[in-house]
Chains A and B, each alone.
Chain A
């Protein structure tokens, strides 16, 4: 595995019960690049993402074959090993969902929530990190006076940027994005796209999208999933 390789799979297969969702997937995802994964719905794009942050371990009946590794903090982690705890890994491999999913709490507490989960209790440090994450997602100026407001009252695009900020507050090395703009209007999507290009500087991005023009604009490398197989385009 090359030092610039962030994620690497070799002959990876993903089974949901008896159904094979991914077949013999061998891919290499580079550090600080945007890798896009496209393909028809139900082809296994989200399943691939669930391997990368080990969300697959929460789904009954799923098992993997083959190899999948991720390099975090210079160390290789085996993604197929069910016994390793997933919590630590997920703090370094953030995830943004298709539909923005702010928790039913204030804007500030949403962004501070991951820090609370990781056991941070220094209020000043939390405040500083929340502000920095909101600045990175260009949300700070819009919400700095409404931090106590319920996050669900923000617009769709703002909610999605809030969710990205919430992932960024843990300073992840990898960010998984599962069709992050498909629930948003054109203007909001453009805002998210600019943001992703900026994030590339210090984060490896894996973007699932079926908008080909979006993929063209953003991606350094594109894989297409079809019938469980992944091919580089």
Chain B
């Protein structure tokens, strides 16, 4: 038995080391493959200059702006909505409805992204074109609205989980003392659950940043730097998908590694932020 357990221990250790090394290797590979581009302009110019392959400019600045604005706007739209949904599921909804609603939200996470994009193409895009933004209807706002719907279930599930993790004895105490659901939420549950809520928010941001299909289908993919949310934009992820589909050896192709590096670093930063939030635990009320 000890031999078996020691072998297993080593296997798991190797698996852990392996996956850590793999993550590092991906980053090194991205840097290696993006090398010609860095030599061409340097990382600084790459991140700050426009995309204009005709004039030898392969900057990904427009895509960074596109990605960040779509991701942040979608989180901005989705956060209040998701938080409200979570409150309804944990505190305000009729008891019989709460579980059903949560199951519905869980189900929403399993709908393929392309379905959201497809539905939006037929319903949301014509609406935006006719009534709100004009143009083709493919723009930052359209993509952000749909992305908000896409990331909402993840955030709702995370929020509900952190609200429900507040010890039952505390919630019962407030109930038994004649506190209303709103008071329970405000005075006890939220002050204890906010690190979890912040975590859910960051995860939602990560998902929004990493999503490819919604922005590819709905944001319009223009390579100019957007100046308003009614304008079309291209995200880093959509850029990777678009360039990859067309080309293999050119400088354009190499620019996608810069996109990869930026996304990689952004995600790494998010994870660091998640870790830091995880350390915050409210000591008391």
Contacts and interface: CB of A to CB of B under 8 A. Distances in A.
Interface of A: 53, 55, 58-61, 86-91, 94-95, 97, 99, 101-106, 109, 113-114, 116-118, 150, 163, 166-167, 170
Contacts, number: 72
Interface in B174-220: 174-180, 183, 187-188, 192
Contacts of A94: 176-177
B176 A113 contact: no
Interface stretch (B56-64, B81-89, B140-148, B165-173): B165-173
B99 to A, nearest CB: 7
Interface in B65-106: 95-96, 98-99
A102 B187 CA distance: 14
Contact of A103 (B96, B173, B282): B173
Contact of B177 (A61, A90, A104, A150): A90
B284 interface: yes
The 8 A-B residue pairs with the shortest CB-CB distance, nearest first, are: A90-B178, A91-B178, A95-B176, A101-B169, A104-B284, A60-B95, A105-B285, A114-B177
A97 B179 contact: no
Given A97-B173, A103-B285, A167-B177, 13 more contacts: A55-B175, A59-B95, A87-B178, A87-B179, A90-B175, A94-B177, A97-B172, A101-B172, A103-B173, A103-B188, A105-B285, A114-B178, A118-B178
B183 A117 contact: yes
B284 A90 contact: no
A67 to B, nearest CB: 23
Contact of A116 (B98, B175, B187): B187
A53 B175 CA distance: 10
B271 to A, nearest CB: 29
